Amino acid sequence: MADQKIAAYICQGCGLGERLDTVDLAKVAQKEGKAHVVREHEFLCNVDGVKTIQNDIDSEGVTHIMIAACSRRAKAEAFYFPAVAMSRANLREGVIWCQPDTDEARETTQEMAADYVRMGCAEVKKMIQPQGNPGAVRNNRILVVGGGMSGMTAALQAAKAGYGVVLVEKAGQLGGWAGKIYKRIPSRSPYQDPQDTGVEEMVKAIETDSRIKVYLNAVVAKTGGAPGRFQVEVGQESGAAGTEEVGAIVQATGFSLYDANNLPELGYGKSANVVDQAGLEKLAKEGNGAIRRPSDGGEVKTVVFVQCAGQRDASGKHLAYCSGSCCNTSIKQAMYFKDANPDVNTVVIFDDLRTPGNGEDFYRSAQNKGVTFTKGKVSAVEATGNTCKVTFHDLILNDQNATIVDADLVVLATGQVPNSGVDIDAKLKAEVAAANGDTSLLEAIEAQEASGQKPISVLNLDYRQGPDMPQLKYGFNDSHFICFPYETRRTGIYAAGPVRRPMDMVQAAEDATGAAMKAIQALENAAVGRAAHPRSGDLSYPSFRIEGCTQCKRCTVECPFGAIDEDEKRYPQFNEPRCRRCGTCMGACPVRVISFENYSVDTVGSQIKAVDVPDEFSEKPRILLLACENDAYPALDMAAMNREIYSAFVRIIPVRCLGSVNTIWITDALNSGYDGVMMMGCKHGDDYQCHFVKGSELASYRMSKVDDTLKGMGLEVERVRTFEAAITDIERLPKLINEYAAVIREIGMSPFKGF
């Protein structure tokens, strides 16, 4: 590493010059910050200021710069110097905008600013500007698992963009569900009639596309490696196997219909004339639209469609969710009959009819064709000879025992169950449930293990953390981020179609196209060693000092993205392309051997130590606040923009994620005389808002253990507090800080000062 030359720049703009003694700050940077070059500037972000900095870099050989001006969130375009390491001391939002402009406050305000200058210098000194992973490799192919509408779409769209595709389908032909149905719900205006599935054309297109390699009757036997360098073993029934190298993966394994055999009360299995939606499609396809009565091939005069069969079920027996597409499917299927013979009586019994968007046109069209829609709840379907009696509660006419006596055919709209492979958290969830008194899950798992039959994996990942993608509720795959639907917990692997959320074919195709986009992006990122969302473009990556490692495995267990495996010597093996640079491993490591070039135990630790801690008689406590850079830190910035005032004794350090907080920072702070430590991270739990999924949860878990440490040090437990913070908490966070400052005043100054 070339020797460091640090330059510090103190801005006087935006009132900094008036509110602060910048000459003094310059001195601090020079004497304490050990900056080789120190400059004050009345307007640092203007052309001249930027030129000054660039000039120092170009001709003065400056390698590290510390900019003491506004928040790192402001003027990012002006202060863009990719060639050098840079830290930002937040004097505007972080000091003068959150402190009263009064003579009394002058001193503490200046102290605050001085500390941030010290911290900025200390941080940048420890930073190395990352150059990206030298081991980065490019692979321009993606693997698509599943050859249904989603998989075929992903394959064709990726190929159309010029990328290679390996398409693996477990059946003997492509098409999946789409290949089994007679017609599909219309995807184009006027949204009036069922339309051809278009599967044949897609299959033809795939077969004739030289960029797409198809495996039929095949499964993924093993997936190893990482984005940019996945090795995939494809196993085929024939026994033959292929090995493929791909850069990214799309999992489009679709859904299975909920098993109607669970619905005997609705007559399934008791009469051939009670079918599920797949059964009806089969009849329609075989008869090419002409549908006869299954039991005797007789004419169909009345058909009843039972919506939400085994769905939206509160009892816990069936599916709790709505499959989103069954209303349109039943409408389509009713049209099979009406289009063939308008005199067929078709009744759809629904609770809420759910045809969002242009589906409303499809609904209208069905009514126009004479399909009858009845708001009701079906209680029973009884077979009598060749017809069925459907009993339901008519909710409009408030008739508890409304009946349709002569139904020739009853179609149960059962829902979509995702084909998402092994639930890698099943055991964990079961144990948690058992801990809460419900042992059923655990027993089920044990029974299964005893029986020797293993749940079938889709991807067979050889990841430390399990063979498939983590699942959300009801077995659907990641993700539940609203702004970032593709952010799975397995970098470079994207779920598409009904395996991630119940959906219809139009959505599935759209979703698959997006997933293909993300897969392509993942391999492009991998090719240059760039991080994927949310730290897109980050070139840093974790490394560890093998000599210090105790093989405790916390990093491999806790990484939210399964980025770390164990090598044959049981040392952690980092797969950088899988890494999202959250630093959770760094926070986990008890011996502190894991670090990033530009973010490490040292970059933060040295900031903590750089703060000037007054003695215990000064009545000037020091509170360390470690704030999540995604939510808490911006919220504090915006609070300052609203001129919300908070304690001058707090020193704030933004962290990538609370998950990256290593307890050593806490103990260091307390040892060096801080009076309290606050941590602010995102909401965790079911509706977690942590951008790194588990970071804030892990942090709060770790901190729950910190009490003992405190007691060991003879300190009050109040001296360390973790808070959940949201980006909208612009009024709440300053209040929290001030309340906490009051608590510290209560319990008094730390005894550890000046050691």
Partner 1 sequence: MSEANTQAVEKYRNNFLKEVEERVEEGEWVKMCMQCGVCSGSCPFGPHWAHPPQEIFMMIRAGKRDEVLTSDSMWMCTSCYNCIVRCPRKLPITHIMHGLANYAHRLGLAPKGQPTREFGKMFWNNLVATGRVNELKLSLSLYFKDGFSQGIKNAMAMKDVGLGMLKAKRLNPFELFSPHGCKDRKGIHAMLKKAREIEDRRKHLTS
Partner 2 sequence: MTEVVATNETILVVGGGISGMTAALEAAECGKDVVLVEKNSHLGGRVSMLYRYFPKMCHPSCGLEINLRRIKGNRRIRVLTMAEVTGISGSAGDYTASVKISPRFVNEKCTACGACTDAVETEVPNPFNYNLNKVKAAYLPSAMAYPQRYVLDPSLVGTAEGEKAKAACKYDAIDLGMQEETVQFKAGAVVWATGWQPYDAAKIQPYGYDRFDNVITSVEFERLADPHGPTGGKIQRPSDGREAKNVAFIQCAGSRDENHLRHCSRICCMASLKQTNYVREAYGDEGNSTVYYIDIRAIDRFEDFYQKVKADPNVAFVKSKVAKIVEDEKTKDVILHGVDTEGYHRYANQHDLVVLAVGMEPSVKGANIPAEIVADSSGFIEADPANGGLFGAGCASNPLDVNRAVQSATASALRAIQVINRVARVEG
| Stretch 270-299 residues interacting with partner 1 (CB under 8 A) | none
Only one of the segments 64-72, 371-379, 428-436, 570-578 lies at the binding site for partner 1 (rule: CB under 8 A); that segment is: 371-379
Residue 670: closest CA among 584, 745, 755: 755
Task: Give the one entry of partner 1, partner 2, none that residue 323 binds, where binding means its C-beta sits below a cut-off of 5 to 8 angstroms depending on kind.
Answer: partner 2
Helices (H), 296-354: 326-340
Task: Give the one entry of partner 2, partner 1, none that residue 265 binds, where binding means its C-beta sits below a cut-off of 5 to 8 angstroms depending on kind.
Answer: none
Task: Give the one entry of partner 1, partner 2, none that residue 687 binds, where binding means its C-beta sits below a cut-off of 5 to 8 angstroms depending on kind.
Answer: partner 2
Task: Give the one entry of partner 2, partner 1, none that residue 611 binds, where binding means its C-beta sits below a cut-off of 5 to 8 angstroms depending on kind.
Answer: none
Q: Residue 379 CB, nearest distance to partner 1 (Å)?
A: 17
CA distance 239 to 427: 32
Nearer to partner 2, 233 or 629 (CB): 629
Of 32, 245, 394, 425, the one binding partner 1 (CB under 8 A) is 394
Site for partner 1 contains 401 (CB under 8 A): no
CA distance 742 to 753: 19
Buried b (16+ CB within 10 A) or exposed e, 78-114: bbebeebbbbbbbbbbbbbbbbeeeeebeebbbbbbb
Site for partner 1 contains 364 (CB under 8 A): yes
* Full strand arrangement of the beta sheet holding 372-384: 274-276, 409-412, 302-306, 345-350, 372-384, 387-394, 399-407
Task: Give the one entry of partner 1, partner 2, none that residue 624 binds, where binding means its C-beta sits below a cut-off of 5 to 8 angstroms depending on kind.
Answer: none
Q: Residue 221 CB, nearest distance to partner 1 (Å)?
A: 52
Site for partner 1 contains 374 (CB under 8 A): yes
The count of residues interacting with partner 1 (CB under 8 A) is: 15
Q: What one-letter code names the amino acid at 243?
A: T
Sign of the torsion formed by the C-alpha atoms of 533, 535, 538 and 544 = negative
Sign of the torsion formed by the C-alpha atoms of 277, 282, 283 and 284 = positive
Q: Kindly calculate the radius of gyration of the chain based on its CA atoms and give it in whole angstroms.
A: 31
Of 76, 397, 528, 742, the one binding partner 1 (CB under 8 A) is 397
Burial of 237 from C-beta contacts in 10 A (0-12 / 13-18 / 19+) = exposed
Task: Give the one entry of partner 1, partner 2, none that residue 726 binds, where binding means its C-beta sits below a cut-off of 5 to 8 angstroms depending on kind.
Answer: partner 2
Only one of the segments 59-67, 369-377, 554-562, 711-719 lies at the binding site for partner 1 (rule: CB under 8 A); that segment is: 369-377
Task: Give the one entry of partner 2, partner 1, none that residue 728 binds, where binding means its C-beta sits below a cut-off of 5 to 8 angstroms depending on kind.
Answer: partner 2
Site for partner 1 contains 400 (CB under 8 A): no
Peptide bond into 751 cis (omega under 30): no
Residue 19: closest CA among 73, 72, 90, 92: 92
Only one of the segments 321-329, 396-404, 516-524, 593-601 lies at the binding site for partner 1 (rule: CB under 8 A); that segment is: 396-404
Element holding 232 (H helix, E strand): strand 230-236
Site for partner 1 contains 375 (CB under 8 A): yes
Only one of the segments 55-63, 127-135, 217-225, 395-403 lies at the binding site for partner 1 (rule: CB under 8 A); that segment is: 395-403
Q: Which parts of 397-552 are beta strand (E)? A: 399-407, 409-412, 416-418, 493-495, 543-544
3 state DSSP class of 226: coil
Residue with tokens 């890698």: 424
Of 13, 370, 475, 514, the one binding partner 1 (CB under 8 A) is 370
Residue 232: phi and psi, rounded to 5, are -120, 125
Nearer to partner 1, 372 or 667 (CB): 372
Helices (H), 147-299: 149-160, 176-180, 199-207, 277-286
Of 261, 341, 368, 550, the one binding partner 1 (CB under 8 A) is 368
| Stretch 336-355 residues interacting with partner 1 (CB under 8 A) | 345, 353
Q: Residue 613 CB, nearest distance to partner 2 (Å)?
A: 32
Binding site for partner 1 (CB under 8 A): 345, 353, 363-364, 367-368, 370, 372-375, 394, 396-397, 402
